A and B are shown apart, each in its own frame.
Chain A
Amino acid sequence: MQHDASVIGAVAKYFFFISLDAHTTFSSSAKVIAQLDSHNWMGVGHRVEWVRALHRAKSRMRNSAAPAWTGGALPQSVTIPSELDLSAWATFLNSAHAEEAEAVLLSQILGFSEAEIAQGLDVSEGTVRYRVGRGLRHLGGCLES
């Protein structure tokens, strides 16, 4: 079956940044993609449904413990820019509110608009901006430390 590459990339990146683990990235992404495919929501016109499905899948993830980044290799799963320090991101995930981390990830890394996130998470756009702002400040603090 031919899938839209952008949805696969977005879903896989989401779970990579949430879990920092190749196995979890693959298994969780496969479930969400199958779910979106079964509803015929793979097209870019259904980005709100992508957000909703990702949020639901995250809340159902069995291992809800915060991830740790040990610098280990992710075998041919993702290409990471050399200047990106994922240990700071792991610290951020461990210490920030889950809603703030999710808002930063969806908005700033995956490029969803505030309106899409607001609809997908059933919150107002102001709440999304508030979470993103606080999350980014927190992330900056993690980079300093």
Chain B
Amino acid sequence: MTRFICQELLYEFVADRLSPQRHSEMVAYLATCAESQRELERLQKGIHFVAVASRVQISGELQASLEDFKPRWKKVLSAWTMHFSNQGWRLLPYAVGAMAIALSAVVFKPWEVRMRSDVLLVEQTRSEPDMQPGPLPGSATPASSPTVTPPLALVEEQSANARTITLNLVANLMESHEPLFPYRAANLVAVPLAPIEIVTREAVATAAAVSTVPTPTAAEAEAEENERTLSITGKGWLNRADLEVADFDMAWPAIRSKIIALEGKVAGNVELGWLRQETEAYFHFSVPESNRNELEIFLKTFGPVRLSRERHPRVMPDGQIRIILTVRDGNTIEDSPETP
């Protein structure tokens, strides 16, 4: 028996919960230790205090107040309903409810939410050609260095075939929806096609020879930041994953290959595995939901993965999920900027 053990067992000693052998050891030790005796006295004073404190009674008035308590808004609502009911305007609450529904419909425009998912489906499809393994992301040119910037359509597509797919899909959507929803077709044309130039295969090849890797610009970063701001009220989901690896130079190309093998498709404006810094690779892609577990298991072989999910305005097609994965060098962890 030590003084520490004795003092820690005092409560159970007083409550008579110790075994007879332990109890007799405590009695023997307490007879020899003055400090433990003082602790025992303190404990007994504390027990006496709480015995008195447990006799504190809540007044009947407070109890009745709590029993009948209603939040102020409930009181106001009930008084309001009672008032108009007495006036004989019993249909007023229903009229107000109908007005609230109509107002919500005007404000939130649920029909436009459905249309937005159609447009985003086109965006998803047109990015498919980007998924072919391209040049190594390590060769990406920093945004500040001088580069030849291809036309907007070329930056986004890198392939005339992709443009053809896009135009066909938009045309199909217009044909299928225009008879029922003529305003949809107008919006579809205005949003995705306005800034696009028709690009030939030769132009693609020429521009690709100059610069095959799209470089994220300040405007693109700002656009993605705006997209993040919008995500608060989105209908879709965006998955985020952060991974710290011990061997960064080996890990990120392997992860890139694995994503491609799992039918991952680039979903942002930068290539898969864009080296944002020397010690940080950025993967923004969509992948079949059925391959998610395999991807997670693969990522966990490199180290602990932090996963999160947040609302996003972009609604993915059924069976597809969108992921932003950031791989960092665990040996040189620093505070990095937010995801573009």
CB within 8 A of B11: which of A5, A29, A30, A129?
A: A129
CB distance from B38 to the nearest CB of A (A): 9
Judged by a CB distance under 8 angstroms, whether B58 is at the interface is yes
CB distance from B45 to the nearest CB of A (A): 4
What residues of chain A lie closer than 8 Å to B51, measured between beta carbons? Answer: 108
Tell me the complex Cα distance, A124–B183, Å: 63
Given contacts A83-B52, A111-B54, A143-B49, contact A137 B61 (CB under 8 A): no
- B62 close to A78 (CB less than 8 A): yes
Judged by a CB distance under 8 angstroms, whether A17 is at the interface is yes
- B46 close to A8 (CB less than 8 A): no
- A8 close to B67 (CB less than 8 A): yes
- B46 close to A138 (CB less than 8 A): yes
CB within 8 A of A136: which of B11, B52, B57, B59?
A: B11
What residues of chain B lie closer than 8 Å to A122, measured between beta carbons? Answer: none
Which of A108, A110, A130: most chain B CB closer than 10 A? A108
- B8 close to A133 (CB less than 8 A): yes
CB within 8 A of B66: which of A2, A8, A144?
A: A8
Judged by a CB distance under 8 angstroms, whether A12 is at the interface is yes
Tell me the complex Cα distance, A12–B66, Å: 9
Judged by a CB distance under 8 angstroms, whether B43 is at the interface is yes
Tell me the complex Cα distance, A88–B12, Å: 24
What residues of chain B lie closer than 8 Å to A1, measured between beta carbons? Answer: 67
- A78 close to B52 (CB less than 8 A): no
Q: Which A residues from 81 to 121 make CB contacts under 8 A with B?
A: 81, 83-85, 88-89, 104, 108-111
Tell me the count of chain B residues lying within 8 A, CB to CB, of chain A: 32
Judged by a CB distance under 8 angstroms, whether A50 is at the interface is no
Interface residue SS majority, chain A: helix
Judged by a CB distance under 8 angstroms, whether A34 is at the interface is yes
CB distance from A116 to the nearest CB of B (A): 16
Can you name the residue of chain B whose Cβ is closest to the Cβ of A135?
A: B46
CB within 8 A of A76: which of B7, B45, B59?
A: B59
CB within 8 A of A9: which of B41, B42, B63?
A: B63
Judged by a CB distance under 8 angstroms, whether B50 is at the interface is yes
Can you name the residue of chain A whose Cβ is closest to the Cβ of B41?
A: A140
Can you name the residue of chain B whose Cβ is closest to the Cβ of A79?
A: B57
Q: Which A residues from 29 to 68 make CB contacts under 8 A with B?
A: 29-30, 33-34
Can you name the residue of chain B whose Cβ is closest to the Cβ of A104?
A: B50
Which of B46, B57, B63: most chain A CB closer than 10 A? B46
Tell me the complex Cα distance, A136–B42, Å: 8
Given contacts A129-B12, A133-B8, contact A144 B45 (CB under 8 A): yes
CB distance from A18 to the nearest CB of B (A): 13
* 7 A-B pairs closest in CB distance: A133-B11, A140-B42, A136-B46, A108-B50, A140-B45, A140-B46, A139-B46
Chain A residues packing against B (C-beta within 8 Å):
1-3, 5, 8-9, 11-13, 16-17, 25-26, 29-30, 33-34, 76-81, 83-85, 88-89, 104, 108-111, 129-130, 132-133, 135-141, 143-144
Chain B residues packing against A (C-beta within 8 Å):
7-8, 10-12, 39, 41-47, 49-59, 61-63, 65-67, 69, 71
